[in-house]
Structure 1
Amino acid sequence: MATPTFDERRGRLEIYFDRTARDAWAQLTSDAPVSGIRATVRAGRDRMRDILLSWLPLDMAGRRLLDAGCGTGALSLAAARRGARVVAVDIADGLVGIARQRLPATIAGAVDFRCGDMLDPAIGPVDHAVAMDSLIHYETPDIVAALARLAPRVRHSIVFTVAPSTPALMLMHRLGRVFPRGNRAPAIVPVKVDGLAARVAAEPALAGWRLGRTERVTSGFYMSHALELVRA
């Protein structure tokens, strides 16, 4: 089961991305010009998406992929072009709507965009799962619990990102607690990657899994750390 803190924070994220950030997120994930700060975030996200895709099979024909927290769908489209059958899920209906609008007719049958919970068992079994920047708002225990809940339905690998605990990110996190948040996004939660890895290794529900590749991307205001879980 999801923890109470996971559920509470997920609800805040749903409200934010549906009501406050939809237009800004649509612009950030498009080819439209953006400011210098947002340009660094876009470049970082593009680099991270390329890394996660590189950890998946180049030929995904016949493979089913869960894009957990798909946003406006860029990773889903890239995986579908490799032949994957993609179930793309996001809590924000507005972002899912944008993703559907951007879905080319040539691969429309390969991607199933859904608004809902990425941990919903009704999604069924998948070969691979990707959670790009969809767990960065959660504490380490919630991240591990989410992975443990997802893992039984994944045949081969889970690739995901967290917000690494770096001095720069910790400073931004502390400032976010001091100043009024207004319409800004719910806080990104920095986690110690080594501590997360240790908790993953000790989690009984993940006993059949091992940590594989890991890589960090820093691009201006964008900082994210990718990890790979593979069947042992």
Structure 2
Amino acid sequence: MDSPTYQQSRGRIGHYFDRTAVQAWAQLTSDAPVSRVRATVRAGRDRMRETLLSWLPARLDGLRLLDAGCGTGALALAAARRGADVVGVDLSPNLVRLAQERVADDAQVAAAGGRLQWLSGDMLDDALGAFDYVVAMDSLIHYEARDAVQALARLAPRTRRAILCTHAPSTPALRAMHAIGQWFPRGDRSPAIVPVRHEALQALAQAEPVLAGWRSARSQRIDSGFYRSQATEWRAP
């Protein structure tokens, strides 16, 4: 995508998750002890992942799924255990490498006939091909609303059934945290989460010609301490 704001955010996200936060992310997505704050984030992410998985069919045999921003691979693994042919892609080669190590030769994937392919790169790359489902859990939360909608527009023509994605809901608490974060030295900042009003995101999506006919079918917000995220299911025409 050519948007300057998307490209700038993409660069910051890739650098942060591949260098600054690798160890912290590896710990957060494991069973290792974490602080109370991070425990709320872990619990919230677990609930969000289960929510998105519950919106997929119980069996995914013969279906192709893109885990866009796969991180350490928990959602991709769960989908493959249902029989899906999963492509997990992330900007961070180190997180992709960790995902490969964690789920190598999983017996449940083999028993279900599922398949896992891991790639490091841009989740919007047309070369990834077409999919029945795309899941983008917390991978668009760092982008401006218009860039997030343009990302959906890039994915939609290659998605046969549905796109499940999340955004950071605009709340007073999130807006305050976002404002405070701007005062930290640039080198110490994590990629900013961009709070977006659900209604505003819906309006932008409905005004995007490429998304004509797509509809918002389900929505679920998860609040868990320092984790706040809202999921939306976009169904293909």
Please indicate the TM-score interval, normalised by the length of the shorter structure: over 0.9
How far has the Cα of 1:181 moved from its partner?
Answer: 4.4
Q: Which runs of 5+ in 1 are unaligned?
A: none
Spell out, residue by residue over 1:56-87, the C-alpha distance to the aligned partner (whole angstroms, 9 max, x if none).
11110000000000000000000000111100
CA contact 1:140–1:196 (8 Å) conserved in 2:
yes
Q: What is residue 23 of structure 2 aligned with on the other side?
A: 23
Spell out, residue by residue over 1:108-164, the C-alpha distance to the aligned partner (whole angstroms, 9 max, x if none).
771101001100011101000000000000010000100001100000000000011
Q: What is residue 119 of structure 1 aligned with on the other side?
A: 124
Q: What is residue 45 of structure 2 aligned with on the other side?
A: 45
Spell out, residue by residue over 1:151-192, the C-alpha distance to the aligned partner (whole angstroms, 9 max, x if none).
000000000000110011001001011233443311111011
Aligned counterparts, 1:94-173, within 5 A: 94-105=94-105, 106=107, 107=109, 110-173=115-178
Q: How far, CA to CA, are the matches of 1:7 and 1:130 in structure 2?
A: 21
Aligned counterparts, 1:6-85, within 5 A: 6-85=6-85
Query: Identity over the aligned pairs, expressed in percent?
Result: 62
Q: How far, CA to CA, are the matches of 1:154 and 1:2 in structure 2?
A: 21
Q: How far, CA to CA, are the matches of 1:184 and 1:24 in structure 2?
A: 14
Letter of the 1:116 partner, please give it. G
Helix, strand or coil at the partner of 2:230: strand
| Range 68-77 or range 175-184, more displaced | 175-184
Letter of the 2:48 partner, please give it. M
Q: Confirm or deny that 1:4 pairs with 2:4.
A: yes
Letter of the 1:149 partner, please give it. R
CA contact 1:20–1:183 (8 Å) conserved in 2:
no
Paired residues, what number? 232
Q: How far, CA to CA, are the matches of 2:55 and 2:195 in structure 1?
A: 23
TM-score of the aligned structures, taking structure 2 as reference length: 0.95
Q: How far, CA to CA, are the matches of 1:101 and 1:221 in structure 2?
A: 29
1:185 to 186, 190, 215: 190
Q: Which runs of 5+ in 2 are unaligned?
A: none
Q: CA RMSD in A?
A: 1.1
Q: What is residue 223 of structure 1 aligned with on the other side?
A: 228
Q: Confirm or deny that 1:201 pairs with 2:211.
A: no
| Range 202-211 or range 60-69, more displaced | 202-211
Q: Confirm or deny that 1:175 pairs with 2:180.
A: yes
Helix, strand or coil at the partner of 1:164: coil
Helix, strand or coil at the partner of 1:146: helix
TM-score of the aligned structures, taking structure 1 as reference length: 0.97
Letter of the 1:127 partner, please give it. D
Moved over 3 A (4+): none
Helix, strand or coil at the partner of 2:188: coil
Q: How far, CA to CA, are the matches of 2:84 and 2:46 in structure 1?
A: 20
CA contact 2:163–2:234 (8 Å) conserved in 1:
yes
Letter of the 1:44 partner, please give it. G
Q: How far, CA to CA, are the matches of 1:202 and 1:187 in structure 2?
A: 26
Helix, strand or coil at the partner of 1:191: coil
